[in-house]
């Protein structure tokens, strides 16, 4: 009986990505070979070799030599050039090997320090997440001359900083709340009817009674109307609201939902694992601890003064405290990890038509369904 040939199983893409990531870390730790730069003509202009497609064979050390050493472990390789730096070379290498999607995964990571140039690059993640744990939802379509990534397939939403908008929301109905809400609307008709009856001398006693009832209803109508709207929240108009500094949960509830009262309403939640300041409650229910407000307030009064912000998501009724150099104005959905979505908060650089990553939050993935699909976005 002939032996059945053994077919090797295809390599696991995530296992290969993990191996490449560890190789990259090892090469980066070794540093540059510090080869002397050969004397000769001046270096070409930026991207000149890249546009020509020339292969550089000079004896000097290349600026992106560590990337060129790493590309030996990739299936597809790129031509080395003297003009490009490591970040541009790494972006080109990632585009050439789009199955690994290294650059796309780095966009969703939050390093301890975000560089001013090529902010998409990340060696580590403050959420202790590995590169291969992230499932990207975007695609790198190109690289600009400034080293920014051109992203395709983004879903984005604007962050409102002007004030708290009037948020439309729906609550559960009950017979008692419906009756009290209807009674609150009878204050002015009752008062006007009493004045008419009293002035026409039809029945002075009846007019006085109607006037007194109308005044009592008018005084109690704000509380009655608030109670009629105090059911459990069923749906909320989606908004992303930004606040400079650290704000209390009770203040957010007051600004968004007004004076509504009730056991289930209003209620905002702290995120258990969505930001750097998240603290999970120790209990059977998953939720954020109130201690994160105290921690964020402490950081705001110390070294983080002027760099603390609060993001309020009305769709999931969740608050996030985070730090940023500048106030982000755009939120981009870029990937998923650990059962949550990765949302990059970006500020705008209008002079060069680019976005700059300020922070990354872990928010419910369904929020992305309320965002708007947009075209190419430059993140640099």
Q: Which residue has the higher pLDDT, 220 or 28?
A: 220
Q: Are residues 315 and 334 in the same domain?
A: no
**CA distances to 119, 151, 332 from 377, in Å:** 14, 5, 10
Is the separation of the CB atoms in 233 and 265 below 8 Å? yes
Please give the pLDDT value at position 45.
45
How many angstroms separate the most distant Cα atoms in the chain? Answer: 117
Q: What is the average pLDDT value for the chain, to the nearest integer?
A: 82
Q: Is residue 318 part of a domain?
A: yes
Cis peptide before 266 (omega within 30 of 0): yes
The single-letter DSSP state of residue 53 is T
Count up the domains in the chain and report the number. Answer: 4
Q: What are the tens digits of pLDDT across the range 280-329?
A: 887 767 788 888 999 888 888 877 667 899 999 999 989 999 999 999 99
Residue 79 has pLDDT above 50, yes or no: yes
Between CA 70 and CA 66 the distance in angstroms is: 6
Contacts of 214 (CB under 8 A, 6+ apart): 187, 188, 189, 190, 191, 192, 193, 194
Task: Copy the structure tokens of residue 103.
Answer: 């650059």
Task: Copy the structure tokens of residue 138.
Answer: 């975007």
Lookup result for tokens 């930004």: 242
- Lowest-pLDDT range of 58-67, 74-83, 301-310: 58-67
Please give the pLDDT value at position 373.
92
Q: Is residue 1 part of a domain?
A: no
Q: Are residues 271 and 319 in the same domain?
A: yes
Phi, psi of 244 (to 5 degrees): -75, 125
Q: Is residue 250 part of a domain?
A: yes
Task: Copy the structure tokens of residue 241.
Answer: 């609201």
Please give the pLDDT value at position 11.
62
If residue 228 lies in a helix (H) or strand (E), which one and from where to where?
helix 204-228
**CA distances to 47, 122, 367 from 104, in Å:** 22, 11, 20
The last residue of one of the domains, among 282, 298, 325, is 325
Between CA 213 and CA 186 the distance in angstroms is: 10
Which of the residue ranges 89-93, 145-149, 160-164 has the most confident prediction, judged by mean pLDDT? 160-164
The last residue of one of the domains, among 228, 249, 264, is 228
Please give the pLDDT value at position 60.
60
**Mean pLDDT within 343-368:** 94
Please give the pLDDT value at position 30.
72
Confidence of residue 55 (pLDDT cuts 50, 70, 90): very low
Q: Is residue 343 part of a domain?
A: yes
Q: Is residue 26 part of a domain?
A: yes
Please give the pLDDT value at position 95.
83
State which residues form the domain around 138.
Answer: 104-159+328-380
**Mean pLDDT within 145-166:** 91
Please give the pLDDT value at position 3.
58
Q: Is residue 278 part of a domain?
A: yes
Which of the residue ranges 102-116, 259-273, 277-291 has the most confident prediction, judged by mean pLDDT? 102-116
Q: Are residues 321 and 332 in the same domain?
A: no
Contacts of 104 (CB under 8 A, 6+ apart): 94, 136, 138, 139, 140, 334, 335
Note the pTM of the prediction, 2 decimals: 0.77
Between CA 313 and CA 101 the distance in angstroms is: 29
Please give the pLDDT value at position 240.
96
Q: Which residue has the higher pLDDT, 369 or 177?
A: 369
Q: What are the tens digits of pLDDT across the range 191-219?
A: 888 888 888 877 778 888 888 888 888 88
Q: Which residue has the higher pLDDT, 62 or 7?
A: 62
Is the separation of the CB atoms in 354 and 379 below 8 Å? yes
**Mean pLDDT within 249-259:** 84
Q: Are residues 284 and 350 in the same domain?
A: no
Q: Is residue 25 part of a domain?
A: yes
Residue 99 has pLDDT above 90, yes or no: no
Is the separation of the CB atoms in 243 and 310 below 8 Å? yes
Q: Are residues 42 and 112 in the same domain?
A: no
Please give the pLDDT value at position 34.
39
Confidence of residue 158 (pLDDT cuts 50, 70, 90): very high
Confidence of residue 331 (pLDDT cuts 50, 70, 90): very high
The alpha carbon of 89 is separated from its chain's Cα centroid by a whole number of angstroms, namely 28
Task: Copy the structure tokens of residue 195.
Answer: 């004045």
Please give the pLDDT value at position 155.
94
Q: Is residue 2 part of a domain?
A: no
Q: Provide the angle, in degrees to the nearest 10, between the axes of the packed helices 204-228 and 175-184.
A: 130
Q: What percent of the chain has pLDDT over 70?
A: 86
The last residue of one of the domains, among 83, 100, 117, is 100
Residue 174 has pLDDT above 50, yes or no: yes
Q: Are residues 25 and 73 in the same domain?
A: yes
**CA distances to 39, 148, 358, 380 from 117, in Å:** 29, 8, 12, 6
């Amino acid at each position: 009986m002939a032996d059945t040939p053994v077919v090797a199983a295809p390599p696991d893409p995530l296992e290969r990505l993990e191996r490449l990531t560890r190789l990259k870390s090892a090469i980066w730790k070794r540093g540059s070979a510090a080869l002397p730069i050969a004397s000769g003509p001046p270096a070409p202009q930026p991207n000149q070799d890249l546009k020509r497609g020339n292969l550089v064979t000079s004896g000097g050390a290349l600026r992106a030599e560590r990337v060129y050493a790493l590309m030996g472990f990739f299936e597809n390789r790129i031509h080395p050039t003297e003009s490009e730096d490591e970040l541009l070379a790494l972006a080109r290498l990632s585009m050439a090997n789009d199955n690994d999607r290294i650059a796309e995964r780095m966009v969703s990571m939050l390093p301890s320090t975000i560089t001013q140039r090529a902010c998409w690059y990340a060696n580590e993640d403050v959420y202790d997440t590995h590169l291969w744990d992230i499932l990207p939802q975007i695609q790198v379509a190109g690289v600009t001359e400034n080293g920014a990534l051109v992203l395709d397939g983004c879903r984005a939403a604007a962050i409102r900083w002007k004030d708290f908008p009037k948020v439309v929301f729906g609550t559960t109905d009950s017979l008692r709340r419906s009756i009290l809400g209807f009674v609150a609307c009878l204050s002015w008709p009752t008062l006007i009817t009493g004045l008419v009856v009293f002035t026409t001398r039809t029945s002075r006693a009846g007019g006085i009674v109607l006037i007194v009832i109308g005044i009592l209803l008018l005084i109690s109508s704000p509380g009655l109307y608030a109670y009629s709207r105090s059911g459990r929240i069923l749906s909320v108009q989606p908004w992303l609201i930004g606040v400079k500094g650290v704000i209390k949960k009770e203040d957010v509830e007051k600004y968004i939902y007004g004076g509504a009262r009730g056991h289930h309403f209003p209620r905002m939640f702290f995120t258990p694992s969505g930001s750097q300041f998240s603290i999970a409650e120790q209990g059977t229910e998953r939720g954020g601890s109130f201690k994160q407000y105290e921690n964020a307030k402490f950081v705001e009064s110390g070294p983080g003064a002027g760099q603390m912000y609060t993001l309020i998501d009305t769709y999931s009724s969740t608050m996030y405290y985070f730090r940023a150099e500048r106030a982000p104005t755009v939120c981009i959905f870029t990937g998923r990890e650990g059962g949550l979505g990765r949302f990059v908060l970006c500020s705008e650089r209008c002079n060069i038509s680019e976005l700059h990553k300020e922070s990354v939050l872990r928010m419910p993935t369904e929020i992305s369904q309320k965002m708007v699909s947009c075209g190419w976005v430059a993140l640099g």
